Amino acid sequence: MKSYDALIVGAGAAGLFCAGVAAQLGLNVLIIDHSSKVAEKIRISGGGRSNFTNRDMDVRAPHKHFLSDNPQFCRSALSKYTPADFIELVQRYGIAFHEKHKGQLFCDGSSDELIQMLLRECDNTSLGGHVYRWQACQLKNLRYHEGDSNFYEADTDQGVVKASCVVIATGGLSIPQIGATDLGYRLAKQFDIRVVSTRPALVPLTFDGPQWSMYSELSGIALPVQIETGLGQSRMSFDEDLLFTHKGLSGPAVLQISSYWKEATSIFINLSPELNIQQALFEAKQNSRKKVVNEVSSWLPSRLAAAWCQSVADCQQKNIDQVSDKTLTQLALGLSRWQLTPTGTEGYKKAEVTAGGIDTRDLSQQTMESRQPGLYFIGEVVDITGWLGGYNFQWAWASAFACAQGLAARFKPL
């Protein structure tokens, strides 16, 4: 039976980074993954250029950018390994990058450069550690042996292995077509670790029925909007781009709000947030004889303007100077506070991440070790979900780093 200091289950962003840091701290690590490919989420993210972190992250206030039953949990890890730390690593490998929007950093070239960087970090054995990687290799069973020397025994496709510690970096349920499974949650439940209910996050919203019929032909239209959901202290609002799809709405604005949207509740959209629409309509009424739809088309894409004017009585064919103030007010209110109730989401197949996961009450915020001795959870499998824009990858790096440090301290206490 082969023996290792740590067994890491999952060769994604968190698993690879944790392995590399742990090996550089002198540990012998085995990574296994049921897929033959590594870090597929990195590969496909950001249109193939990978939005690998966000330089605007406020590590002192994680509740601003992360969802969780306890968002403050991630503060410790994010403070120990910051966006600046990961940026320094990227620069050390000569990977060119740029800021695209609101602190979001993307590779200039292919996201494969990041994957190769992580693999090279795993190959760095200067301090005596080593990373072994078995792929494709499935974990069939995991047992804990308690005694004079506690250890785990894992049945895998390539035989039985022994490890002092096990790190679960299996990710969530999102994008099953690249290999996502519920393995991490099943392992948690096996060892009586609590799991917060999971749901798709950063996901397109879907609509059906009469409220959507007039917009179903607008697929492909994109525009900047302000979008919000919730009331009072739970209200969330984003200023981002909206995209109409065949099934409903997507784009950064909708992906962001989807993480906060609750079933059977409404979202509100201002289709022209930079403009006082009512004032603009009233001014046009005084100074123009154009059709209403032509005036609205000066602020919105023409197909969207036509759909809206069709939905409001007297606005489809009339010139704006012939339309009542009441009707123009109705039109302005609809455009500036469009209320919609989604019927659902496009599910895990299109979700970028999974909300919920391993309950942080059962984890150490310093090391990511669970209340089950020697069992650690990192990355997306944990109940920490970031905004769109590099936050989730930064959580992967930070939680992996905290875990690797915790593993090293376990074997080589300072």
> Residue ranges of the alpha helices (H) in 93-209?
112-123, 183-190
Q: CA-CA distance, 387 to 2, in Å (whole number)?
A: 40
* Residue of 212, 247, 216, 243 whose CA lies nearest to 227: 243
Residue 414 confidence (pLDDT): 47
Q: CA-CA distance, 201 to 172, in Å (whole number)?
A: 11
Superfamily of domain 2-200+352-411: FAD/NAD(P)-binding domain (3.50.50.60)
Residue 314 confidence (pLDDT): 67
Q: CA-CA distance, 323 to 329, in Å (whole number)?
A: 10
State the DSSP string of 29-56. Answer: EEEEESSSSS-HHHHHGGGGT-EEEETT
Residues 231-250: tens digit of each pLDDT: 888 899 999 999 999 899 99
Q: Which residues contact 303 (CB under 8 A, 6 or more apart)?
A: 217, 218, 221
Backbone region of residue 80 per phi and psi (left: phi > 0; alpha: psi in -120 to 50; beta: other values): alpha
* DSSP assignment letter at 126: T
Residue 125 confidence (pLDDT): 73
Residue 313 confidence (pLDDT): 66
Q: CA-CA distance, 87 to 397, in Å (whole number)?
A: 11
**Residues facing residue 234 across a β-bridge:** none
Instruction: Check: pTM over 0.85? Answer yes or no.
Output: yes
What architecture is domain 205-345?
Beta Barrel (2.40)
**Are 408 and 22 within 8 A, CB to CB?**
yes
Residues 252-310: tens digit of each pLDDT: 999 999 999 999 999 999 999 999 999 999 999 898 888 999 999 999 999 999 988 88
pLDDT under 50: residue ranges of the chain? 414
**What is the dihedral angle through the alpha carbons of 327, 331, 336, 339, rounded to the nearest 10 degrees?**
110
**Are 328 and 282 within 8 A, CB to CB?**
yes
Q: How many residues does the chain have?
A: 414
Pairing of strands 2-9, 130-135: unpaired
Q: CA-CA distance, 164 to 288, in Å (whole number)?
A: 78
**Residues facing residue 285 across a β-bridge:** none
Distances (CA, A) of 410 to 16, 46, 365, 413: 20, 36, 15, 6
Radius of gyration from C-alpha coordinates of the chain: 25
Pairing of strands 353-358, 375-377: unpaired
Task: Locate the domains of the chain by residue range.
Answer: 2-200+352-411, 205-345
Q: CA-CA distance, 100 to 89, in Å (whole number)?
A: 19
For the chain, the helix, strand and coil percentages under 3-state DSSP, each to the nearest 5: 35, 25, 35
- Token pair belonging to 348: 């895990």
Q: What are phi and psi of 200, to 5 degrees?
A: -65, 140
Residues 51-76: tens digit of each pLDDT: 999 999 998 888 899 999 999 999 99
Residue 316 confidence (pLDDT): 73
**Are 263 and 307 within 8 A, CB to CB?**
no
